[in-house]
C-alpha cells in the first residue's frame, strides 16, 4: 500500500453498493394514513427543536404539565419534559376505559393451535394490572424507584406485570425468557432487584419448557455474587395448575395464583411520577464486558413510543397490530406494549415461533385475528422465505403495513417480503434504532416517503442523523463513503444513562465526537450509534452493520451486509453470513457462509456462482476467500446469526461458550467442514 493510500481514513473509503429503485405507497394506504402532510418534517426541523417533541407528549395525559421541554444542565444526561408528571399505566389503560373498555388490548396467541386465543379487554387488563400492583405494594412492600426483575416468556402475564410496576413507579428489568439463569442473575444483581418474577413454564414449538428452575439457579448465582433475592413470585402458565418439576421453596417462592386470591378486585391508584423518573432498565451487550443497563425514562420514553406508534406504525383504532418480537427485547417494550397500548391499540402477544407447527402458522394467526399491521425482523423473513415461500398466498389475510427491524435487510429479501408476505400491497418501513434509543431513529414515513429496499430511510421526524468520518468531519449525502452514523440532537425516547455507570454512558456514546466535555449545549454532543452507514443523495441512510462488522480488505471498506446481500441474489440461497479472516497482505478477507433453500444441493458449481455473484455485484475486491455451504447457521435464541462463532471457526480461533445458542450442535459440524477433522496445533 502506498503512503498516500495509508493516509485515507477508513470512513473515507468508497463503499460499493448499488442504489435500488423506489417503491411507492398505494393510494389506498395514503388515503387512510395518520400522516400525509409533508410539513411534518418542517414542524420537526432543528429550528423547531426541542419544542417539536411536545407534539408527541401531547398524545399523553399529564397530571402536571412540564415547565422545561429539554434540560441540558447535566449534559449529556438529557432531561425531557421536566416538571411534568404522569403515570404510564394510567396512560396505557385507565384513560382508555371510558370509550374503549370492551376493546381488546392484548390478544394472547398460545403456542399450540389447540389452545384458544385469549382476548384481554382494556377493562380486564385494568383489573389484572391493579391486582398485581396490589401484590407489589402490599405483599412485597415495593415502592417507586425500587427495581424488580422479570424473567418471563411471551405470555400475557409479562405485560401485565410490567404495567403493574409502572403503576407504582417501580422500575422493571425484563430479562429475555430464553436467557440463562446466570444472565438473569447478573441483571438482578446489577439492578439490585429484591423481587424476581418467573413462571412455572411455557410452550415453544410444541415443547413444554420448565422455566422455574432457572429462577432457583439465578437465586443461587446472585447469592454467590453477594445479592439476596428476597422473593420469587411464580406465575402459572395455566392458572391453578403448577406444572414445574421444581418445588416452591417456603418463605422465598410464592405462587401468584395463591397470592392474588387476597387481592381480588383491589384497586391501586396510579402513582403520579416525574417525567424524568426511570420507567425500566433494558440490558444490552456492549462491544466488551458486562451488559449495560439502559435506563429509560417515564415521560420522554412514553411520548416517543406513542408518537412513533401513531405516525410510523400508522396504528388506527380499528387496526389489529402484530409485532412478532419478544417483549424481552426493546422492540417488544416499545412496540408491543408501551407504544401500542398508549394509543389504545389491539396488540398481539404470541407465545410461539414462526415455523410451528409449520410455515403457515403466522398467516393463519393473521387470518384468524384479521391482523393488518405486521412487524418482524429480517431473520424471520429470511427463515420464512426459506421454509415456506408459497405459504402466504394460501391464506386470506390483508396487511396494509409491515415493519422490518433489527438488522440490515438485503434487497432480495426486502422484495420477497414486499411481494409475497405483503402481497404487493403493504407498505414497508425499515426501522433502524437500538436498545438505547427507545424508538425509531431512521425510517420512512409510510404515507409520505417512497421506500427503497435495503435503506432504512431518512431520520424519523425530529431525528437528525449524519455520517462522520473518524476525525469528526461530516460525509455528505451522495459522497458514497461510509462512516459512523451519529444523531445531531437529543430526542425524548433516548435512554438516560447506563444504570449505575455514568462514565460508561458518556464514553461509549459521546466520547468519540464531543469536543468540549464541559459544554451544556446539545450541539456539542453528537450521539454515536456504533453503526457504519452511507447516506445517499436523497438523504436515505443505508446501515452497513456495527462498526466492528465492517471488513477492511486491502484498504477498501466492505460492509459484511453488502457481500451477504449480493450473495442472496443467487436464487438457491436462504441465508448468508460474512466474517473477516485475517490475511497477511490484504489485512482481512471475507469468508462467506451460506445456507440453501430446501430442495437444493450443495455443489462446487453453486459455490463458484455465489462467489461470482459477489464479484459482479460489488467488485473483485469482495471476492470471498471461500464459500462454505453449511446445513444451518449458528444462531442465538433470538435468531441472530452468530458471526462471532463463524469468525472464530474461519480463523481457527476459540469459539467460546456456544451452549447458549439455539443450535449448538451445528458448530462442530461447521468446524469439521472448515478446519477438517484433524486437531490443529499451533506451530511454535
Q: Which residues make up the interface to ligand WT7 (CB under 6 A)?
A: 284, 329-331, 405-408, 430-435, 456, 529-531, 543, 545-546
Residue nearest to ligand WT7 (CB): 435
Question: Quick one: 131 or 549, whose CB is closer to ligand WT7?
Answer: 549
Question: Quick one: 274 or 332, whose CB is closer to ligand WT7?
Answer: 332
Matching residue, cell 457481500 = 563
For residue 159, the minimal CB distance to ligand WT7 (Å) is 18
User: Strand pairing of 474-475 and 465-468?
Assistant: antiparallel
For residue 417, the minimal CB distance to ligand WT7 (Å) is 13
DSSP assignments along 326-351, one per residue: -TTSHHHIIIIIIHHHHTT-EEEEE-
531's grid cell: 453503526
d(CA 134, CA 128): 10
Tell me how far CA of residue 405 lies from CA of 28, 263, 330, in angstroms: 24, 40, 11
Whether 572 contacts 561, CB under 8 Å: no
Tell me how far CA of residue 547 lies from CA of 550, 638, 659, in angstroms: 6, 21, 26
Whether 180 contacts 224, CB under 8 Å: no
3-state secondary structure 302-314: HHHHHHHHHHCCC
d(CA 231, CA 140): 8
Whether 593 contacts 646, CB under 8 Å: yes
d(CA 251, CA 259): 13
For residue 485, the minimal CB distance to ligand WT7 (Å) is 9
Question: Quick one: 56 or 540, whose CB is closer to ligand WT7?
Answer: 540
For residue 406, the minimal CB distance to ligand WT7 (Å) is 4
Whether 563 contacts 590, CB under 8 Å: yes
d(CA 324, CA 315): 16
d(CA 512, CA 381): 35
Question: Quick one: 169 or 530, whose CB is closer to ligand WT7?
Answer: 530
Question: Quick one: 219 or 350, whose CB is closer to ligand WT7?
Answer: 350
Neighbour tally for 267: CB within 10 Å: 11
Matching residue, cell 400492583 = 133
Question: Quick one: 397 or 505, whose CB is closer to ligand WT7?
Answer: 505
For residue 97, the minimal CB distance to ligand WT7 (Å) is 31
Question: Quick one: 391 or 562, whose CB is closer to ligand WT7?
Answer: 562
d(CA 577, CA 556): 19
For residue 273, the minimal CB distance to ligand WT7 (Å) is 25
DSSP assignments along 83-140, one per residue: T-EE-HHHHHTGGGHHHHTTSEEEEEE-SSTTSPPEEEEHHHHHHHHHHHHHIIIIIS
Give the residue among 107, 259, 91, 100 at the shortest CA–CA distance from 166: 91
| Cis peptide, bond prior to residue 76, ω within 30 of zero | yes
For residue 549, the minimal CB distance to ligand WT7 (Å) is 8
Whether 574 contacts 596, CB under 8 Å: yes
Question: Quick one: 405 or 553, whose CB is closer to ligand WT7?
Answer: 405
For residue 433, the minimal CB distance to ligand WT7 (Å) is 4
For residue 550, the minimal CB distance to ligand WT7 (Å) is 11
Please tell me the number of Cα atoms within 13 Å of 415 on its side-chain side: 10
User: Strand pairing of 497-498 and 627-629?
Assistant: unpaired
Spacing of C-alpha 91 from chain mean position: 23
For residue 357, the minimal CB distance to ligand WT7 (Å) is 27
Question: Quick one: 244 or 455, whose CB is closer to ligand WT7?
Answer: 455
Whether 165 contacts 273, CB under 8 Å: no
Tell me how far CA of residue 435 lies from CA of 145, 238, 281, 582, 639, in angstroms: 21, 32, 10, 31, 17
For residue 349, the minimal CB distance to ligand WT7 (Å) is 17
For residue 337, the minimal CB distance to ligand WT7 (Å) is 14
CA dihedral 376, 379, 383, 384 (to 10 degrees): 20
Give the residue among 626, 604, 615, 632 at the shortest CA–CA distance from 566: 615
Residue 403: which H helix or E strand, with range?
strand 401-405
Spacing of C-alpha 233 from chain mean position: 27
For residue 330, the minimal CB distance to ligand WT7 (Å) is 5
Question: Quick one: 104 or 435, whose CB is closer to ligand WT7?
Answer: 435
Beta partners for residue 595, in sequence order: 575
553's grid cell: 480488505
For residue 305, the minimal CB distance to ligand WT7 (Å) is 12
For residue 432, the minimal CB distance to ligand WT7 (Å) is 4
Question: Quick one: 301 or 628, whose CB is closer to ligand WT7?
Answer: 301
For residue 451, the minimal CB distance to ligand WT7 (Å) is 12
d(CA 447, CA 8): 41
Question: Quick one: 56 or 329, whose CB is closer to ligand WT7?
Answer: 329
Question: Quick one: 402 or 630, whose CB is closer to ligand WT7?
Answer: 402
Amino acid at each position: 500500500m502506498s503512503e498516500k493510500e495509508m493516509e485515507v481514513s477508513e470512513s473515507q473509503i468508497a463503499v460499493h453498493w448499488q442504489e435500488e429503485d423506489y417503491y411507492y405507497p398505494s393510494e389506498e394506504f395514503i388515503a387512510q394514513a395518520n400522516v400525509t402532510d409533508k410539513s411534518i418534517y418542517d414542524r420537526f426541523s432543528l429550528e423547531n427543536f426541542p419544542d417539536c417533541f411536545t407534539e408527541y407528549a401531547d398524545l399523553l395525559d399529564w397530571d402536571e404539565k412540564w415547565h422545561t421541554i429539554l434540560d441540558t444542565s447535566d449534559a449529556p444526561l438529557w432531561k425531557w419534559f421536566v416538571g411534568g408528571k404522569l403515570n404510564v399505566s394510567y396512560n396505557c389503560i385507565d384513560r382508555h376505559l371510558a370509550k374503549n373498555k370492551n376493546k381488546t388490548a392484548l390478544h394472547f396467541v398460545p403456542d399450540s393451535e389447540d389452545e384458544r386465543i385469549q382476548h384481554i379487554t382494556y377493562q380486564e387488563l385494568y383489573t389484572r394490572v391493579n391486582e398485581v400492583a396490589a401484590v407489589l405494594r402490599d405483599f412485597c412492600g415495593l415502592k417507586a424507584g425500587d427495581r424488580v426483575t422479570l424473567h418471563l416468556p411471551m405470555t400475557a402475564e409479562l405485560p401485565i406485570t410490567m404495567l403493574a410496576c409502572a403503576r407504582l413507579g417501580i422500575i422493571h428489568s425484563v430479562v429475555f425468557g430464553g436467557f440463562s439463569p446466570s444472565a438473569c442473575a447478573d441483571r438482578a444483581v446489577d439492578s439490585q432487584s429484591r423481587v424476581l418474577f418467573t413462571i412455572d413454564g411455557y410452550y415453544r414449538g410444541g415443547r413444554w419448557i420448565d422455566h422455574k428452575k432457572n429462577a432457583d439457579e439465578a437465586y443461587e448465582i446472585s447469592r454467590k455474587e453477594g445479592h439476596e433475592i428476597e422473593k420469587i413470585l411464580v406465575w402459572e402458565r395455566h392458572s391453578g395448575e403448577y406444572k414445574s418439576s421444581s418445588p416452591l421453596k417456603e418463605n422465598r417462592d410464592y405462587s401468584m395464583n395463591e397470592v392474588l386470591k387476597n387481592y381480588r378486585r383491589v384497586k391501586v391508584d396510579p402513582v403520579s411520577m416525574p417525567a424524568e423518573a426511570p420507567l425500566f432498565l433494558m440490558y444490552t451487550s456492549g462491544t466488551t464486558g458486562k451488559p449495560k443497563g439502559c435506563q429509560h425514562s417515564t415521560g420522554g420514553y412514553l411520548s416517543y413510543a406513542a408518537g412513533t406508534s401513531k405516525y410510523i406504525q400508522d396504528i388506527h383504532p380499528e387496526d389489529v397490530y402484530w409485532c412478532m418480537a419478544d417483549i424481552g427485547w426493546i422492540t417488544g417494550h416499545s412496540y408491543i406494549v408501551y407504544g401500542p397500548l398508549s394509543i389504545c391499540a389491539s396488540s398481539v402477544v404470541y407465545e410461539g415461533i414462526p415455523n410451528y407447527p409449520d410455515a403457515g402458522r403466522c398467516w393463519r394467526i393473521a387470518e384468524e385475528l384479521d391482523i393488518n399491521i405486521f412487524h418482524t425482523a429480517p431473520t424471520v423473513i429470511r427463515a420464512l422465505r426459506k421454509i415456506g415461500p408459497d405459504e402466504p398466498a394460501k391464506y386470506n389475510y390483508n396487511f396494509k403495513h409491515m415493519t422490518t427491524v433489527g438488522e440490515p435487510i438485503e434487497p432480495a429479501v426486502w422484495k420477497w417480503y414486499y411481494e409475497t408476505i405483503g402481497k404487493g400491497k403493504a407498505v414497508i418501513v425499515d426501522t433502524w434504532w437500538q436498545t438505547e434509543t427507545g424508538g425509531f431513529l431512521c425510517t420512512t414515513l409510510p404515507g409520505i416517503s417512497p421506500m427503497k429496499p435495503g435503506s432504512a430511510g431518512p431520520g424519523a421526524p425530529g431525528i437528525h442523523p449524519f455520517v462522520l468520518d473518524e476525525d469528526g468531519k461530516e460525509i455528505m449525502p451522495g459522497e458514497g463513503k461510509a462512516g459512523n452514523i451519529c444523531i445531531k440532537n437529543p430526542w425524548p425516547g433516548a435512554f438516560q444513562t447506563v444504570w449505575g455507570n455514568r462514565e460508561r454512558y458518556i464514553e461509549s456514546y459521546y466520547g468519540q465526537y464531543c469536543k468540549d466535555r464541559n459544554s451544556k449545549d446539545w450541539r456539542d454532543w453528537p450521539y454515536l450509534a456504533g453503526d457504519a452507514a452511507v447516506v445517499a443523495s436523497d438523504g436515505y441512510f443505508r446501515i452497513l452493520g456495527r462498526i466492528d462488522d465492517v471488513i477492511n480488505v486491502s484498504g477498501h471498506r466492505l460492509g459484511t451486509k453488502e457481500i451477504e446481500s449480493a450473495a442472496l441474489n443467487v436464487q438457491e440461497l436462504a441465508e448468508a453470513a460474512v466474517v473477516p479472516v485475517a490475511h497477511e497482505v490484504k489485512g482481512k478477507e471475507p469468508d462467506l457462509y451460506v445456507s440453501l433453500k430446501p430442495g437444493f444441493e450443495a455443489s462446487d458449481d453453486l459455490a463458484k456462482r455465489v462467489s461470482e455473484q459477489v464479484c459482479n455485484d460489488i467488485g473483485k475486491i469482495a471476492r470471498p476467500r471461500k464459500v462454505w455451504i453449511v446445513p444451518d447457521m449458528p444462531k442465538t435464541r433470538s435468531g441472530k446469526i452468530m458471526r462471532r462463532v463463524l469468525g472464530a471457526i474461519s480463523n481457527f480461533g476459540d469459539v467460546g461458550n456456544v451452549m447458549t445458542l439455539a443450535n449448538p450442535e451445528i458448530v462442530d459440524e461447521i468446524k469439521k467442514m472448515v478446519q477438517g477433522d484433524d486437531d490443529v496445533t499451533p506451530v511454535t
